[in-house]
Amino acid sequence: MQISVRDWSLLFILSLLWGGAFFFVGVAVREIPPLTLVLCRVGIAAVALYTYLKLSNGLPPNIRPLIVPALIMGFLNNLVPFSLICWAQTEITSGLASILNATTPIFSMLVAHAILADERMAINKLIGVVAGFAGVAVLIGGSALKGVDGATLGILACLGAALSYGFASVYGRTFRKMGVTPGAGALGQLIASTLMITPIVLIVDQPWTLPVPGVYTILSTLLLAVVSTALAYLIYFRLLATAGAVNAALVTLLIPPSAIGLGYVFLGEVLEMRHLIGMGLILIGLIAVDGRVFRRNR
């Protein structure tokens, strides 16, 4: 599937919203446990998106056909990756988490190749896979061979989140086949995610026993939910419908610069040289997966 100039503009906006998400998580997770933060994110986002759709008459007339797809999409696109990334950011920087998240198109391409008939693997995509995983190897570094520490587990958690996003980006096309609007699809998965994670949080974190977070933590959580989740998913689902699973996942190519910049300026995070080298290899892999350079050369 091809990607238009309009889709590229939406990709850029989405990259800013999701780049900010890593920053907001980096701030909030210092005072709020990861699972509780995920519940706040999807719960508040669901309320915000429901309010918007209600006022704009965008609510679906019949939600029964959406129940199963919403549960699956909520699990793959919210519950699993949000939880893994929030926990990972207790061990690694927001910038490094965003770099690892940039492997999502590579995982999306592998999943799409195995499942979708219209997104098969070509030689350029194979090159992209090799370069991308070479970048991951550099990010993990030789220290992982000496033993698994918290940082290594954080990296692996981010890779698990990227794999889950890969499955979600492919499964998300189900909503288009059903004729579901982007808003309804986003709302369905957010509500499903909230219902799934609530009992887990009540048992594990017992949030009523936690201290009241500070003003910046509360503000970061609200922005994470309303701007980087509710609004971002409206754009994301529209991109899935118009640009395809792999093209929509290219947004992760644009996320690291904003996440790294915010982390450096406001959180004092600094990346090592191997992180920059790894990001460069992943960037080369994503360019190869995209394939536009090869087509222009021909």
Q: What is the pLDDT of residue 119?
A: 64
Q: Number of structural domains, the chain?
A: 1
pTM (two decimals):
0.88
d(CA 86, CA 80): 10
Q: What is the pLDDT of residue 87?
A: 97
Q: What is the pLDDT of residue 62?
A: 78
Q: What is the pLDDT of residue 20?
A: 94
Q: What is the pLDDT of residue 106?
A: 84
d(CA 264, CA 93): 10
Nearest-CA neighbor of 78 among 230, 222, 283?
Answer: 230
DSSP assignment, residue 227? Answer: I
Residue with tokens 């370069």: 131
**Residue 233 phi/psi, 5° resolution?**
-70, -30
**Residue 119 phi/psi, 5° resolution?**
-135, 65
d(CA 216, CA 228): 16
Q: What is the pLDDT of residue 201?
A: 98
Burial profile 37-71: b = 16 or more Cβ within 10 angstroms, e = fewer: bbbbbbbbbbbbbbebbeeeebebeeeeebeebbb
Nearest-CA neighbor of 19 among 279, 254, 281, 217?
Answer: 254
* Tokens found for residue 285: 């892999």
Give the range of the structural domain holding residue 242, as residue numbers without chain letter. Answer: 5-297
CA angle 209, 218, 102 (to 5 degrees): 105
Q: What is the pLDDT of residue 162?
A: 93
CA–CA distances in Å: residue 195 to residues 71, 202, 248: 9, 12, 27
User: Which residue blocks in 63-214 are alpha helix, DSSP H?
Assistant: 67-74, 80-88, 94-101, 104-115, 123-140, 150-171, 173-177, 182-204
Low-confidence ranges of the chain (pLDDT < 70): 1-2, 117-121, 142-148, 176, 245-246, 249, 290-298
